[in-house]
């Protein structure tokens, strides 16, 4: 019986978190600098990270399908409503972090600007439609805020399971050598 997710799934779970956190960070840091160079650097980083988030999430979905039979059970088993809720939270996170980069790409391209990836243009912009770009940007920001809220819910649920319910929900996704995972496994 597996007690943890496969190492590759654990790695890409935490890599996704890092990319997502940096994506949010760079868009918020763009206003700190007083130069256009700083703003452009932060936005280029934001675009690059958004693309990385998109492909990382797609890859995670593929891994989820490939390793479906290796998903460890939660011990002790949670009530059905919690299992269903977790399923919908995961589905929401996958959808949000696929949709957000698509919306971000459409914002850039509808400004008539090429989409950069590590500073190099990879897709040419369309005929500029700044009104459409602005509308998509508002949707993008709303979905991003929803994403943050669902990430917070996801993290809070994992901590609730770990510290209050004392089940193995969190340690199933922890790296093998983490103190949290090692201690919990020693107790079982």
At 15, which CATH number?
1.20.950.20
Distance from C-alpha of 168 to C-alpha of 172, rounded to nearest angstrom: 6
**Residue 116 bridge partners (DSSP):** 121
Q: Is residue 67 part of a domain?
A: yes
Residue 38 lies in a domain: yes
Residue at 186 is within a domain: no
Q: In this predicted structure, what is the pLDDT of residue 134?
A: 96
Q: What is the end-to-end Cα distance of the chain in Å, rounded?
A: 14
Number of structural domains the chain divides into = 1
Whether 184 is in a domain gets the answer: no
Question: What are 36-75's pLDDT values in tens digits?
Answer: 999 999 999 999 999 999 999 999 999 999 999 999 999 9
Domain containing 138 equals 7-179
The CA-atom distances, in angstroms, between 64 and each of 5, 12, 110, 135, 157 are 10, 11, 34, 33, 20
pLDDT value for 31? 86
How far is 87 from 18, CA to CA, in rounded Å? Answer: 22
Q: Is residue 60 part of a domain?
A: yes
Strand, coil or helix: 163 = helix
pLDDT at 180 over 90: no
The pLDDT tens digits for 72-117 are 999 999 999 999 999 999 999 999 999 999 999 999 999 999 999 9
């Amino acid at each position: 019986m597996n007690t943890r997710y496969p190492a590759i799934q654990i790695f890409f779970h935490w890599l996704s978190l890092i990319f997502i956190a940096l994506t949010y960070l760079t868009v918020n840091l763009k206003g700190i600098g007083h130069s256009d160079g700083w703003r452009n650097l932060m936005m280029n980083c934001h675009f690059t990270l958004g693309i990385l988030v998109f492909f990382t999430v797609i890859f995670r979905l593929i891994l989820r399908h490939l390793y479906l039979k290796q998903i460890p059970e939660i011990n002790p088993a949670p009530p059905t409503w919690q299992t269903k809720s977790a399923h919908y939270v995961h589905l929401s996170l996958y959808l949000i972090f696929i949709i957000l980069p698509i919306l971000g790409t459409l914002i850039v391209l509808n400004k008539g600007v090429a989409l950069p990836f590590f500073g190099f243009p990879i897709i040419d912009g369309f005929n500029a439609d700044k009104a459409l770009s602005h509308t998509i940007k508002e949707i993008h920001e709303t979905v991003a805020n929803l994403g943050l809220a669902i990430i917070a819910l996801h993290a809070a649920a994992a901590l609730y399971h770990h510290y209050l319910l004392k089940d193995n929900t969190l340690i199933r996704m922890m790296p093998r050598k983490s103190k949290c995972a090692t201690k919990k496994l020693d107790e079982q």
